[in-house]
Amino acid sequence: MIASPDTRFHDAFAAREEGTPPGLIPYFTAGYPMLESLVELLLCAQRTGCIAVEVGIPFSDPLADGPTIQRTGQVALRNGMTLAAALAQVADARAQGVTIPLAVMTYVNPVLSFGVDDFARAAAAAGVDGVIVPDLPLDEAAGVRGAVHAAGIALIPLVAPTTTPDRLARVCSTAAGFVYCVGVTGVTGARATIGDDAMALLDAVHRLTPLPRALGFGLSTHEHLRALRGHAEAAVVGSALLDAIGVDAAHAVAGAERFLNAMIGSETAPTG
């Protein structure tokens, strides 16, 4: 069995001050709102003090995604975005000074079409730290996990309030990077509050692994981050951020910066 890789996620989470709200992980759809938007959005995320970024690779059958991310994915596909193009833009962002951890979220069919080993090598060469594949079952993940771990990339698992205790223990035993905790039973999309089931899931994961926990699906406000203090090390925001970007596609970076600054708030905003 290949050991879990040591990625930028380790150092980023280790640098968090104890007792602070969770670090923010924005989700950007590669190719949205414009084909070439990603690099500037990644630089924006770093500039505003985000702990990492999740880069969504648009796919024609995005089963885990709610209406907003499905819509942005359709726009990105029409713009010409592909898995290879997204990796090229990640490499460009690294060349332009992006140093925070980057995870790509894709589906298993694009990975298989690309070739598992070729994908792992290309992602590593681009500077990817983690891969999230929501439709890759735990029982069928060994091949992908072995390839990406061998390339120095973490295969980041998703767990949900409906994950059984036995399966949760198995997932946590093979996790790397961080454990992505799905805060709702359903697809992505902003919600008003964080449910008790999400908090219980975060606590259960903490008992099973020392890896950081990131809560996603439904988060949209600074108050959500405050509520997660002491319960999660990171929070993922996607749909609400993409809605903010989509208000004025010509000024997407400015919209992203306003949203991220508001969500992070003064407690966690960079000081220098």
* Beta carbons within 8 Å of 118's beta carbon, 6+ residues apart: none
Ranges of beta strands (E only) in the chain are 23-29, 53-56, 102-105, 130-132, 154-155, 158-159, 179-182, 213-216, 234-237
Instruction: Write down the catalytic residue from 11, 65, 139, 257.
Output: 65
226: how many CB neighbours lie within 10 A of its CB? 13
Query: Could you give the CA distance from residue 191 to residue 237 in angstroms, rounded to a whole number?
Result: 11
> What residue type is 22 in one-letter code?
P
65 noted as active-site residue: yes
Which SS3 state, helix, strand or coil, does residue 95 take? helix
Angle at 20 between CA 19 and CA 26, to 5 degrees: 145
Q: Which two tokens stand for residue 229?
A: 């203090």
Instruction: Write down the catalytic residue from 11, 18, 36, 54.
Output: 54
233 noted as active-site residue: no
Active-site residues, by number, are 54, 65
